[in-house]
Structure 1
């Protein structure tokens, strides 16, 4: 795969009065990713799919348009996940990859099969922002169907999931839901 086709040389910028991603930070990260992808042995610290999934950039006025950067990062993450899968299969065999997928799927299923309204922690503070439980539970039921019934679901649907806000104990703790969904994306990227 040619990384240049996955990531454009530059991105459109938002208007000077709007916020976008810090262009310098984006460019530096993508250069690290390019070196890591094209010559992994030459990379001081190779970029992995998990690094792409967790990277964040400071908001600045007149920065890169977030949607375009996010789409490129999604393609990069998928490419790195495929490479990581292929490297694991080559080094340890397909059985090792299947065991890893099975282990991760088992961990995720444990939480997915909890009853609606009980899948994630509730925030400890009353006024803190949280995710609407019904929205999160709906996505969790779709994930069960994806994992167990082979119902089609795009990894991008999970990456782009948006939940209505809730307040405090009326919703699920955002950080726990986000961490769980990161693992779901890791699994889906490895499978697809």
Structure 2
């Protein structure tokens, strides 16, 4: 499935692989200073880019004034089935899930609002976990969460299809809510190697 969309820019507050990706693909990028008391640079860059969706990957809370400039456009990916482990950053959610011996993990793509990890859920992935295969757990959560993020972006862009395919990652059946609106036949080893870079 091809969609009429493009990455219009990458904005980061630190050196990261997203800036490297933008450089390699000749996509506009900017490294900025950002905190809740210094918001003008981020707001200025976003106004220039005029994005339809803003995917956050910043380990800071976005200020309410910036969120208000782009209502219902900021989305975040959280490596848990929210509201579980809200406020926990990155893959630390998986470490905490292991300590609690949860049976299912996944990812949540949600709208960003002024309350941490409390925005409207757009898409979630859910997969049963075998904690004896730790490395596969991280890989499975990463892959299923990446697809939940795509599902959330498609929700924002109002892209729908009649697809409702079963997806297997590391021999585990992954469920999505709502079902992914795209064909998953492109999920080859080469695809995941590109995503991981």
For normalisation by structure 1, the TM-score amounts to 0.25
- More relative contact order, 1 or 2 (CA 8 Å, 6+ apart): 1
Structure possessing the higher radius of gyration over alpha carbons: 1
TM-score when scaled to structure 2?
0.25
Q: Which structure's residues are more often strand, by fraction?
A: 2
| Greater helix proportion | 1
